[in-house]
Structure 1
Amino acid sequence: MRWTLIEDGDPSKISHIQESIGVDRPIAELLVKRGIETFDDAKSFFRPSLENLHDPFLMKGMTVACDFILKKMVEEKPIMVFGDYDVDGTTSVALLTSYLKSLGVNVLSYIPDRYDEGYGVSYKGIDCAKENGIDLIIALDCGIKAIDKVKYAKDLGVDFIICDHHRPGNQIPDAVAVLDPKQDDCKYPFDELCGCGVGFKLMQALQTKLEKPQKEIYKYLDLVATAIGSDIVPITGENRILAHYGLKLINSKKRPAFKAILENVKKRELTITDVVFMIGPRINAAGRMKHGLLATELLCETNYEKVKELAKDIELYNTDRKDTDRSITEEALEIIKEKKEEDRYTTVVYQSHWHKGVIGIVASRLTETYYRPTLVFTKSGEKLAASARSVKGFDVYNALESSSEYIEQFGGHKYAAGLTIEEKNFESFKQKFEEVVKSSIDPELLIPEIKFDSEISFENITSKFIRILKQFAPFGPNNMKPTFISKHLTSTGFVKALGEDGLHLKANLVQNRVIISAIGFGLGEKKSLLDSKAEVDIIFTIEENEWNGNTSLQLNLKDIRKSY
């Protein structure tokens, strides 16, 4: 792995923030690296305030969208709330469905079937609206590229309001209003909202139009925080505020769905990372293995007995999902070895029987193994569907755009995308994608990189330092958990391999007579290095380990290497 120091901040800015808020220099350095350079920046960072959320009417199309929805409410017309089958989509539908129902609106929630309809706005969903006498569909977390489908709906007399956060194409759908802060001519101050976040801004605007207090809708922030974490959007600016307050709600377990999902979790306080790994996969499992509407039903249900039944079903789907993705990953790794494709710049694999619901997870696992842009294909009707994942620093969306001559449809982000192609084009596409990546990627990006903030000595890891570090949360893209290196340390003699096949590592490490316990997930192979009593350098994050009601300091090791 490459250990890369995050670029040092301007010394004058570090000194300024150090004096402004009265912190030690290592903390000031961490803040400047995160763009926190003034007293006001630090106040917003350490004390997120809902009062600092942006005016929703700064978003292009917001006034038109609100007026149109209010008109439908006056006419007592039903509304379809349409969202994708992933966490962002299902939480978005739960969010807006619950809110509109609280206003007395007759709402039909709609999540497309992953296998029958595929990603995004579907003709089947539009037909369902028409059959139910609905002439307005509010699409969340999708729709920005649904040019033909929105036209089809319009021809049927069904209007669209689109709330999306994906990159627009060259053409914008002919909807009543398109809310997407990534539109070039949208002047909204923050363009990194998730789909659920855009839905929340629409709710804020409707509350204003209805002259209702904003605080009434803050109870929905647990859904927004779940989407922010699961959709891996930057946890800066507005997202940091929404995630901060949403996490408080999740930890209060006021929503019956989260209470049921977290029933057996003993942690005192969940982090965004916990939300991503505990709540996100379970919500996702419904759409992957059965139907995303089950997740929305769970999130909206208020009867705790019903919630427990739904949560039990979703837990079974999640277990099924884990077994399925494990077996497909093993099969994919075998195919790569058989075809001797380990030296390619890309990983592109296909089997017609692979479960469409887990190919995104498999793509992530293959990326972890071979660390290169990865596509996992399966059969989807008459076409092939794929999930794409990338490595840090490489834009897979742009690479797909450059290979689009063989692609039927695609959409997504810099690091994750989805696409469909015709089966006859598979080999041609595979070759083209390899050529595009090979000609455009910096070979260094194919070596896994761990970025660190600074070097620190064990003696400086004090209780005060840890207390301030905890206030940097919630962590996520553009505000990752501070990462450090320490040099020239040894084990105390306690070194233990843990888990199946000794995959993980636990050790007590010592530097200048200060001893700290450490855990290294996936670092079992480094046991011999620590056993040798050689001096080592480590790269790590600092965390608190909860066990049997006790909390202790622990280093979470990311890599270990011999000191030079």
Structure 2
Amino acid sequence: MIDKRWINHPDLTPEQINIVNELTESLKIDSALATLLTQRGIRDFEDSRQFFRPDLSKLHDPYLMQDMDLAVQRLAKAIANNEKILVYGDYDVDGTTSVTVFYGFLSRIYEQLDYYIPDRYNEGYGVSWQSIDWAQENGYTLIVTLDCGIKSVDKVTEAKKRGIDFIICDHHRPGDELPPAEAVLDPKREDCLYPYKELTGCGVGFKLLQAFCIHQQIDQNILFEYLDLLVVSIAADIVPITGENRILAHYGLLRLNAAPRPGIKALIKIAGMSGTLDITNVVFGLGPRINAAGRIKHAKEAVRLLLSEETDEADAFAEEINQHNSDRRNFDSSITEEALLMIEKDEWFLTANSTVLYKEDWHKGVIGIVASRCIEKYHRPTIILTQSHGKAAGSARSVPGFDVYEAIEECSDLLEQFGGHTFAAGLTLPIQNIEAFRKRFNEIVSSRILPDQLVPMINIDLPLSLASITPKFYNILRQMGPFGPGNMTPVFMSSNVMLSGNPVIMKEKHIKFDVKQEDSPAFTVIGFGMAPCYKELLNNKYFSICYNLEENNFRDKKTLQLFLKDIKFN
């Protein structure tokens, strides 16, 4: 097991201590819960009311987004003139949910409409030349891009010459030049004053539809029916679940659990998911299956599933996609094994501050997942490359606090194209440049990364006595969700705990044991992948644990248990 750093939350300021006391009193809650709220920026009763009770009426005015009026006018004009509109999205979860929401909503009021997802392998990321040719051949005069397009300057310029206009809905960082589209919607534009910057691509498309509803006097409740898809994009794209995303995710989860559309319902069933779904369920249960269509075959299959209105049809599509996901898992597992072996056998790879690996026959659809798997073992910025159309195509993943996009940008003279976020990016380069890129990238990482960033860390929200854990405590804690980036599931630390009974190893990898403190009842602890702790547990009377608090529902009996993040022996 890798040693981890436990990072305690900074001590509260005197002002924050006053806020904790006021919240404890006004909300009639435990001071530990009031501390968690204060850490999340809650300052008073009104803040806490909005936090615990998100409200769709608090969504920002979509017209605050730069170019929104232009986008709505062009979309309304196309519909009034009976133009053919093409809804264009990326092949990942954010892209496919974006297309489903936009096409699904617009097709209810307009027929001259189709959707297009580029092939991951033959066309690659973003607006493709093939798609422009196809749009021209089929008479489309307006393309709405979702989750892509912000860097497609050359493609949009050429399309304009051919009489095809673009409305771009993206959330990635723009380059130095914006495409010459009719409207460019992207909260990350420097000149965009939209109050919330962290929308997904699906979220930006949703805001366009919201503005269109206002313009056309369409009941927005019809649009809100698509929030179950929007929350899938928010979860899978790992964006902060704060501000507007928190409101959208809250109502999306309500719809996902109460009345999921047939396609989502079929995925939930085939994934064997039960109980109330949360962000984590979506990330690990639904996201990979939707993604698998584009990774293994074609992402149009995912859109087809999500648009399904008949149960039998949806079940059949879900079966296909689940098979793709099984294939994806097999590729993922075997390629990860190869990648880790390459690192272990090469001294340079072992001692570098970054990982850049290339093998020509690795499956392009899973290299991002493999990069994440490598980081689990070697905690450093990682890029996995494979051959695609005679070039090296890759996916980058980073560690907390290090901007991998900026590091890649510094190597742009060695690349053909790149794009992405702080913690994840994609890139393409000539195969002959791989070695030079590997060295340059490692030099940049080495000059910027802090030693601590190369060691996995666990952020601990606050210490907690086990005696404080009660059903009431957990019930209030649960209402602080949906949890995710920006509002992570609280991590607690309890020290001087002791075993209550003997630990049990499960499936040779996991461990289960009961703990208590002097003044507390015993709680069951589940530690995945932590079987190596078994002997030390037996040999140490006292130890410290950090954990999430969760509810175990077994045979309709609910008990609180601790999901172990790490353990330190005294």
What secondary structure, in the 3-state scheme, does the structure 2 residue paired with 1:262 have? helix
Query: How many angstroms apart in 2 are the aligned matches of 1:551 and 1:121?
Result: 50
- Counterpart residue identity of residue 301, structure 1: S
Query: How many angstroms apart in 2 are the aligned matches of 1:561 and 1:18?
Result: 31
> Is residue 2:539 matched to residue 1:532?
yes
Query: How many angstroms apart in 2 are the aligned matches of 1:550 and 1:464?
Result: 16
- Counterpart residue identity of residue 7, structure 1: P
Q: Where do residues 192-231 of structure 1 align in structure 2 (5 Å cutoff)?
A: 192-231=198-237
Match for residue 31 of structure 1?
37
Match for residue 333 of structure 2?
326
| Aligned 8 A contact 1:73 1:105 in 2 | no
Q: Where do residues 161-176 of structure 1 align in structure 2 (5 Å cutoff)?
A: 161-176=167-182
Q: Where do residues 121-520 of structure 1 align in structure 2 (5 Å cutoff)?
A: 121-263=127-269, 265=272, 267-340=274-347, 341-499=349-507, 502-512=508-518, 513-520=520-527
Query: How many angstroms apart in 2 are the aligned matches of 1:243 and 1:266?
Result: 19
Query: How many angstroms apart in 2 are the aligned matches of 1:192 and 1:77?
Result: 32
- Counterpart residue identity of residue 143, structure 1: G
What secondary structure, in the 3-state scheme, does the structure 2 residue paired with 1:27 have? helix
Offset, 1:18? 2.8
- Counterpart residue identity of residue 100, structure 1: L
Query: How many angstroms apart in 1 are the aligned matches of 2:10 and 2:117?
Result: 44
Q: 1:287 to 1:213 in 2, by over 3 A?
A: same
- Counterpart residue identity of residue 532, structure 1: N
> CA-atom RMSD, angstroms?
1.1
> Is residue 2:16 matched to residue 1:8?
no
Match for residue 53 of structure 2?
47
| Aligned 8 A contact 2:273 2:285 in 1 | no
Query: How many angstroms apart in 2 are the aligned matches of 1:371 and 1:326?
Result: 19
| Aligned 8 A contact 1:7 1:33 in 2 | no
| 1:479-518 CA distance string (max 9 Å, x none) | 000111001111112211112xx21111111212520001
Equivalenced residues, count: 561
Match for residue 106 of structure 1?
112
Offset, 1:170? 1.0
| 1:334-355 CA distance string (max 9 Å, x none) | 1111112222100111100000
Q: Which moved more, 1:99-108 or 1:445-454?
A: 99-108
Query: How many angstroms apart in 2 are the aligned matches of 1:117 and 1:496?
Result: 51
Offset, 1:253? 4.0
| Aligned 8 A contact 1:79 1:105 in 2 | no
- Counterpart residue identity of residue 466, structure 2: F
What secondary structure, in the 3-state scheme, does the structure 1 residue paired with 2:309 have? coil
| Aligned 8 A contact 1:521 1:557 in 2 | yes
- Counterpart residue identity of residue 546, structure 2: I
Q: Which moved more, 1:24-33 or 1:449-458?
A: 24-33
Query: How many angstroms apart in 1 are the aligned matches of 2:442 and 2:22?
Result: 48
Offset, 1:533? 4.2
Q: Which moved more, 1:356-365 or 1:13-22?
A: 13-22
Query: How many angstroms apart in 2 are the aligned matches of 1:134 and 1:20?
Result: 59
Query: How many angstroms apart in 2 are the aligned matches of 1:445 and 1:533?
Result: 30
Match for residue 126 of structure 2?
120
Query: How many angstroms apart in 1 are the aligned matches of 2:182 and 2:273?
Result: 47
- Counterpart residue identity of residue 339, structure 2: A
| 1:195-237 CA distance string (max 9 Å, x none) | 0011110111111111111111111000000000000000000
89, 92, 108: which one pairs with 2:98? 92
- Counterpart residue identity of residue 288, structure 2: P
Normalising by structure 1, report the TM-score: 0.98
Query: How many angstroms apart in 2 are the aligned matches of 1:491 and 1:529?
Result: 11
Offset, 1:521? 1.1
> Is residue 2:556 matched to residue 1:549?
yes
- Counterpart residue identity of residue 288, structure 1: R
Query: How many angstroms apart in 1 are the aligned matches of 2:498 and 2:30?
Result: 27
What secondary structure, in the 3-state scheme, does the structure 2 residue paired with 1:228 have? helix
| Aligned 8 A contact 1:8 1:33 in 2 | no
What secondary structure, in the 3-state scheme, does the structure 2 residue paired with 1:193 have? coil
Normalising by structure 2, report the TM-score: 0.97
- Counterpart residue identity of residue 320, structure 2: D
Offset, 1:21? 2.8
Query: How many angstroms apart in 2 are the aligned matches of 1:15 and 1:155?
Result: 64
| Aligned 8 A contact 1:324 1:355 in 2 | yes
Query: How many angstroms apart in 2 are the aligned matches of 1:131 and 1:38?
Result: 59
| 1:235-256 CA distance string (max 9 Å, x none) | 0000000000101111124300
Query: How many angstroms apart in 2 are the aligned matches of 1:431 and 1:533?
Result: 45
What secondary structure, in the 3-state scheme, does the structure 2 residue paired with 1:233 have? coil
| Aligned 8 A contact 1:16 1:37 in 2 | no
- Counterpart residue identity of residue 94, structure 2: D
| Aligned 8 A contact 2:540 2:569 in 1 | no
16, 19, 24: which one pairs with 2:25? 19
What secondary structure, in the 3-state scheme, does the structure 1 residue paired with 2:487 have? coil
Offset, 1:186? 0.6
Offset, 1:540? 0.3
Q: Which moved more, 1:378-387 or 1:244-253?
A: 244-253
| Aligned 8 A contact 1:164 1:198 in 2 | yes
Query: How many angstroms apart in 2 are the aligned matches of 1:347 and 1:266?
Result: 35
- Counterpart residue identity of residue 254, structure 1: P
| 1:157-208 CA distance string (max 9 Å, x none) | 1111000001111111110000000111111110000000111101111111
What secondary structure, in the 3-state scheme, does the structure 2 residue paired with 1:232 have? coil
- Counterpart residue identity of residue 275, structure 2: R
52, 75, 85: which one pairs with 1:69? 75
**Structure 1, unaligned runs of 5 or more:** none
Query: How many angstroms apart in 1 are the aligned matches of 2:535 and 2:284?
Result: 31
- Counterpart residue identity of residue 393, structure 1: G
Query: How many angstroms apart in 2 are the aligned matches of 1:449 and 1:544?
Result: 25
- Counterpart residue identity of residue 345, structure 1: N
| Aligned 8 A contact 2:471 2:560 in 1 | no
Offset, 1:14? 2.1
Offset, 1:550? 2.4
| Aligned 8 A contact 1:493 1:531 in 2 | no
Determine what percentage of the aligned residue pairs are the same residue: 48
Query: How many angstroms apart in 2 are the aligned matches of 1:143 and 1:433?
Result: 26
What secondary structure, in the 3-state scheme, does the structure 1 residue paired with 2:148 have? coil
| Aligned 8 A contact 2:85 2:113 in 1 | yes
Query: How many angstroms apart in 1 are the aligned matches of 2:273 and 2:149?
Result: 40
Offset, 1:266? 5.1
Query: How many angstroms apart in 2 are the aligned matches of 1:154 and 1:483?
Result: 52
| Aligned 8 A contact 1:519 1:557 in 2 | yes
| 1:60-93 CA distance string (max 9 Å, x none) | 1111101111111011111100000000000000
Query: How many angstroms apart in 1 are the aligned matches of 2:311 and 2:459?
Result: 44
Query: How many angstroms apart in 1 are the aligned matches of 2:500 and 2:33?
Result: 29
What secondary structure, in the 3-state scheme, does the structure 2 residue paired with 1:419 have? strand
Query: How many angstroms apart in 2 are the aligned matches of 1:188 and 1:535?
Result: 52
- Counterpart residue identity of residue 95, structure 2: G
Offset, 1:306? 1.1
What secondary structure, in the 3-state scheme, does the structure 2 residue paired with 1:477 have? coil
